[in-house]
Amino acid sequence: MKLLVDVDAFCKLQVAGLLSDAAGLVAARIDDCGRLPALPHMLRRGKLRKQFGGDVCEVLISVAEAVPVIPQPSDTWLDKLIPIEGIDVGEAQLFAAAAEGSLLVVSGDKRALRALKDVEGFAGALAGRIVVLEAVLVALCDHLGADAVRDRIAPLAAADKMVQVCFSIGNPSPREALISYYQSLAAELDPLVLWDARAGGAP
């Protein structure tokens, strides 16, 4: 397993048909990824079904079931996260498993990342291993071309303000807008060091 993916990132990347391409950025395939055990259940009911629609969620379920479940992290890392406001149980499992296994983790939960940055030990363990959606899209623009990414990510515009702004019809350079978003987020999340394909990715 090379890459852990949280619920938000999984849904948004797969809705755009970009999950496999995103995994490929770190020489991984879908079966090299890891997801939360609860993901299929979450797609069957609740807010994800309302957000993306039943038909889309049925497709997402079939993909989710092909992705291995993340390894259960030890209490050493997990206990540091459980009491932290802003980090739910699922994100705690992902961050702890990534720290313990020196794995990359794709997270779309900025609230959780803001809380994570101050938790002892995680900035060092996850340096260069936190992959945010903005960084993925910058790398995919470089790999596939901005126009191809714009076409494929169109279904996400209604569900993600950053995507809506960066890939708006009036924006001729989505890559530059994405980099601006990324740099702002990277500064806000210091001392966490975010993954950046332009800098060679994780160590």
Tens-place pLDDT, residues 98-125: 999 999 999 999 999 999 999 999 999 9
Mean pLDDT of the chain: 94
Average pLDDT value for residue range 169-190: 95
Average pLDDT value for residue range 121-142: 97
Average pLDDT value for residue range 79-103: 96
- What value does the CA radius of gyration of the chain take, rounded to a whole number of Å? 16
Average pLDDT value for residue range 53-70: 95
Q: How does residue 201 score in pLDDT terms, banded at 50, 70 and 90?
A: low
Contact 78, 96 (CB under 8 A): yes
Three-class secondary structure of residue 105 per DSSP? strand
Given a cut of 50, whether residue 82 has pLDDT beyond it is yes
Given a cut of 60, whether residue 202 has pLDDT beyond it is no
Given a cut of 90, whether residue 150 has pLDDT beyond it is yes
pLDDT at res. 203: 43
pLDDT at res. 137: 97
pLDDT at res. 157: 85
Cβ neighbors of 154 (< 8 A, separation 6 or more) are 16, 167
Cβ neighbors of 52 (< 8 A, separation 6 or more) are 11, 15, 60, 159
Kindly report the CA angle at 154 between 151 and 157, in degrees rounded to 5? 155
Average pLDDT value for residue range 5-11: 96
Class for domain 3-134+189-198, per CATH? alpha beta
Strands (E), the chain: 3-5, 33-34, 104-106, 130-131
pLDDT tens digit sequence for 27-52: 999 999 999 999 999 999 889 998 89
% of the chain residues with pLDDT over 90 = 89
Q: Give the other-Cβ count within 10 Å of 183's Cβ.
A: 13
